[in-house]
Structure 1
Amino acid sequence: MHEKRPGSFYVLAAFFIVFMLFLYGPTITIGILSFQGPQGGLTFPMRGVSTHWFHQLFQQQSVGDIWGAFRRSVALGLMVMVTTVVISVMGGLAFRKRFAGSGSLFYLIIASLIIPSILVSLGVGLIFSQLGWDVHWATSGFGAQLTWTLPFGLLIMFAIFNRFNPAYEEAARDQGASAWQTLRHVVIPIIAPSLIGVALFGFTLSYDEFARTLLTSGSHNTLPLEIYGMTTNVTSPVLFALGTLTTVFSFAIIAIFVAFAVAAQRRRSKLASDAGKATL
């Protein structure tokens, strides 16, 4: 006989269901409304079902510079992702040993997480303006977003290297490997799944960032800023169609990174297995 579940199980299950509805309900609602018919509006009830508003989305004149904003967001996300991964690895390696001021530097790094994002955006924009530099998404916007992504990447790398077994590096050096060869052929393959996680954080946090880009993007909007602008002048389900496509794109990016992480984990397991056999 199956053991009877306690009443608390059903209470927690109901709470979990409500939480999931709260989390994904708005996204699901937008997805449904994006398939309104040509006469549909921004609310229920739906007036027909079609892909009319998706077709409208691809007409440049109906949505402003949405595709230019999308390209800028992707380019900026890739820039932030690569920079976050490289600096996070370098920082993680540096913090493996204590050095003068390491504690203060650590708290200084993570302090940007607790500063209101709009203040960071304002501060970076003012610095560029005072120095006479152009405020642009690829310069000031890039710097402002790094204040958001780098602390996450560094915290992940700190956790990874705190658990990293230095015996792997010692074995490589015993075999005559240089410091660069040890990093390239031993350290990087072992931490590869975590690097993919840092890359995912870097790209997605940048791609979706609004507040830190608001005052640092200059005259060219990124995608979040363009969508915000559309909410004031677009009164048709084309806005929902855009939301649906960007959501699908975000999930696709996550799926791609997860696939890379799984492949890296399998390669890491194979390397460990081969190393174990070699020592027998």
Structure 2
Amino acid sequence: MEPRSRSFYALAAFFGLFVLFLYGPVITIGILSFQGPRGGLTFPMNGVSLHWFFDLFEEQAVGDIWGSFRRSFGLGLMVMVVTVVFSVMGGMAFRQKFRGSTFLFYMIIASLIIPSILVSLGVGLIFNILDLDVHWATSGFGAQLTWTLPFGLLIMFAVFNRFDRSYEEAARDLGASPWQTVRYVVLPIIAPMLIGVALFGFTLSYDEFARTLLTAGSYNTLPLEIFGMTTNVTSPVLYALGTLTTLFSFLIIGCFLSIVILLRRSQASKGSDAGKGMV
């Protein structure tokens, strides 16, 4: 085995510092959330316990933690479903050139470079002008779609650019209708990528702050609630909340990855069964 060069160790050290920079704040909050009952917001820690996690599940003097969590979770599911559906429809529509497709593409991508707070302000103003209620499930929902849909569409563009059209042609040769081709051929093939789009849609919505700031109305989502708690709560219960929400995010990612693995194993087993049948 050849000895590693000095550049390898230098790059490894740089990568380690980069990972520490990314996850250092999360690790710090996680450690501080395990302080004792008399613990503060900074180091050194005053004891070690689960006190602040238990305190989190009790009634808080300030804020509505679990109500905001339910709103963020519900909003994330709504955004996820719409993002997946419209991303697939948009990806299939852009498989063929049509008049205005280039302009429409750049208009979609433009929402990613517009400052998020301006999008939130614009959506809120539109709802006020139309005399509609500014609410997390309406205006907040629309504002977050301007963030998640472009990502979903970009993923679908990449997927369909590499999609082998011979599968669709074979289905049509066997008498499948356009809908049957999409349902039984296209969707099963791109299913793992759809899980990725769904994960993007949910996670981007779940922790979105700026685009929800002026469109949530009277009820906060979880990111807004946490921001409000930073000015009112002066105990490590805020760190306990941050630790639990981080673990919840990792749990969601793990569930989606498990679904992808199961889908790929199912497709592989079907392919092997089909090969045995031909033999």
Say whether 1:79 aligns with 2:92. Answer: no
Match of 1:3 in 2: 2
Q: CA deviation at 1:145?
A: 0.2
- Aligned partners of 2:166 and 2:62: how far apart in 1? 57
Say whether 1:258 aligns with 2:257. Answer: yes
Match of 1:194 in 2: 193
Q: Which deviations, in whole Å up to 9, do the C-alpha atoms of 1:214-248 show, x marking residues without a partner?
A: 00000000000000000001010000000000000
Match of 2:162 in 1: 163
Which deviates further from its counterpart, 50-59 or 173-182?
173-182
Q: CA deviation at 1:271?
A: 3.6
Say whether 1:218 aligns with 2:230. Answer: no
Correspondence list, 1:166-245, <5 A: 166-245=165-244
Q: Which deviations, in whole Å up to 9, do the C-alpha atoms of 1:44-83 show, x marking residues without a partner?
A: 1111111110111111234520100000000000000000
Match of 2:95 in 1: 96
User: Where does structure 2 lack aligned partners over 5 or more consecutive residues?
Assistant: none
Which deviates further from its counterpart, 173-182 or 112-121?
173-182
Q: CA deviation at 1:181?
A: 1.2
- Aligned partners of 1:90 and 1:111: how far apart in 2? 19
**How many correspondences in the alignment?**
279
CA RMSD across the alignment: 1.2
Q: CA deviation at 1:274?
A: 4.3
Q: CA deviation at 1:119?
A: 0.3
Asked whether the equivalents of residues 69 and 221 of structure 2 are also in contact (C-alpha less than 8 Å), the reply is: yes
Match of 1:47 in 2: 46
Match of 1:267 in 2: 266
TM-score computed with the length of structure 2 as normaliser:
0.97
**Letter matched to residue 45 of structure 2:** M
Asked whether the equivalents of residues 76 and 206 of structure 2 are also in contact (C-alpha less than 8 Å), the reply is: yes
- Aligned partners of 2:180 and 2:277: how far apart in 1? 19
The alignment-based identity, stated in percent, is 76
Q: CA deviation at 1:4?
A: 1.7
Match of 1:146 in 2: 145
Asked whether the equivalents of residues 57 and 63 of structure 1 are also in contact (C-alpha less than 8 Å), the reply is: no
User: Where does structure 1 lack aligned partners over 5 or more consecutive residues?
Assistant: none
- Aligned partners of 1:262 and 1:198: how far apart in 2? 15
Q: Which deviations, in whole Å up to 9, do the C-alpha atoms of 1:147-175 show, x marking residues without a partner?
A: 00000000000000011111111111111
Q: CA deviation at 1:199?
A: 0.1
Match of 1:132 in 2: 131
TM-score computed with the length of structure 1 as normaliser:
0.97
Compared CA separation, residues 277 and 94, structure 1 to 2 (3 A): farther
- Aligned partners of 1:169 and 1:274: how far apart in 2? 21
- Aligned partners of 2:182 and 2:74: how far apart in 1? 28
Which deviates further from its counterpart, 4-13 or 202-211?
4-13
Asked whether the equivalents of residues 83 and 152 of structure 2 are also in contact (C-alpha less than 8 Å), the reply is: yes
Asked whether the equivalents of residues 139 and 215 of structure 2 are also in contact (C-alpha less than 8 Å), the reply is: yes
Q: Secondary structure at the match of 2:230?
A: helix
- Aligned partners of 2:40 and 2:227: how far apart in 1? 19
Asked whether the equivalents of residues 148 and 204 of structure 2 are also in contact (C-alpha less than 8 Å), the reply is: yes
